[in-house]
Amino acid sequence: MFSDFLLKINTHFSKGLPFVGYRKPGEEKVTGIFQKDDALHHIKTYTETGFAFSAFDSKTPVLLQIDEKYEAAYQSSKNTNRPTSSTQFLKQEEGKKEDYIDLVQKAIDQINKGTFEKVVLSRKIELASIKGPLELFQTLLNLYPSAFCYLWYHPKVGLWMGATPEILLKTENKRITTMSLAGTKAYVPNESPIWKEKELNEQALVTQYIVNALVGKIEKTNISDRESIQAGNVWHLRSSISGIMKASLKEIVNALHPTPAVCGLPKETSKAFILENEDYKREYYTGFLGELNFTEVKERTSKARNQENKAYKTITTKSRLFVNLRCMKMIDKKVIIYVGGGVTNKSDPEKEWEETVIKSATMGNVIG
């Protein structure tokens, strides 16, 4: 039962023990990983099994939650109110507008000098919350049924939660799929988005980067048609890239993370600009998280008359890793929301600020 699931989370949290609770997109169940002690486990080879939690900076060790797995049925409430505007809680942010616009202009100047083609710049918003982590998590589940929703805690790291629309990668044995997600438009009910050159070019850059990064690492590569997807109160452009793995999962993750959708192009120069010029440390925002090497066993029945061959099993090893977007960190009764956007030579600094305001509503609606 879901009430038992929440009780296990509350008990672990009160004891200062690590846990993660999450729901994958479109599912009607929640899953929890409950660790028996407060040890910090790290991923080294990507052959480990557990729940991965990675920072933006790949120099930071990737964390792994292990031990007891627990599942419970959950259906999102259809009566959850969804606020339509984030302007009230963002009034306090107006004082930071000039700084962000200056940062975007600095990035555009570097792009025009040829330092990089694109960079994704972000900022944080600090707010008070009268809701506790369990109430915030349930609100996430109800508001965003098509996103990967999670509540993650480790006493030596902190408490994070979010509802991300972006897959870093998913695997089934040797088959792999990843995603090219870029471009942002505000969601308007009953209206389809109209994409301009800036968004189309940005998404094309991300797609080409991923394809190039995976050359020699996957084979039988397939790229889907570009489509518009809704994520909370915004639209994005998305393409899927799939194939068969030739390299190890570790090599592929290192090639993809951080993606151009959260970092820039080329990766190393845009990442260096971010680390040097953003006025805060991203930590686990724009990192990745999810299931690593979970096994799925299915009993199958053969039509053969031989009784010994009548029942057999298929075992599939799966990974589901998501980019940690639309997330927040909670410290006591304060929450820190993270928002950002891609900057190219077509960017307008004022509009880039407005894009972060639109995106902030995804988590702002959860806080209320």
As a whole number, mean pLDDT of residues 203-213 equals: 89
pLDDT of 360 > 70? The answer is yes
Is the per-residue pLDDT at 314 higher than 70?
A: yes
Tens digits of residue pLDDT in 47-61 = 999 999 999 998 999
Residue 176 belongs to some domain of the structure: yes
- Cα 114 to Cα 111, 117, 217, 299: the distances in Å are 5, 7, 29, 56
Q: What is the DSSP string of 214-274?
A: TBTTEEEEEEPPPEEEEETTEEEEEEEEEEEE-S-HHHHHHHHSSPTTTSEESHHHHHHHH
The answer to whether 92 touches 128, Cβ cutoff 8 Å, is: no
CATH number of the domain encompassing residue 133? 3.60.120.10
Averaged pLDDT score across all residues of the chain: 90
Over residues 88-134, the pLDDT tens digits come to: 455 556 668 999 999 999 999 999 999 999 999 999 999 999 999 99
Residue 237, domain member (yes or no): yes
- Residue 306 falls inside a structural domain: no
Range of the domain at 14: 2-297+313-367
pLDDT in tens, 124-162: 999 999 999 999 999 999 999 999 999 999 999 999 999
Contact 357, 206 (CB under 8 A): no
Cα(325)–Cα(321) distance, rounded to whole angstroms? 12
Nearest-angstrom CA–CA distance, 213 and 215: 6
Q: Domains in the chain: how many in total?
A: 1
Evaluate whether residue 158 is within a structural domain: yes
The CA distance from 152 to 139, in Å, is: 15
Residue 305 lies in a domain: no
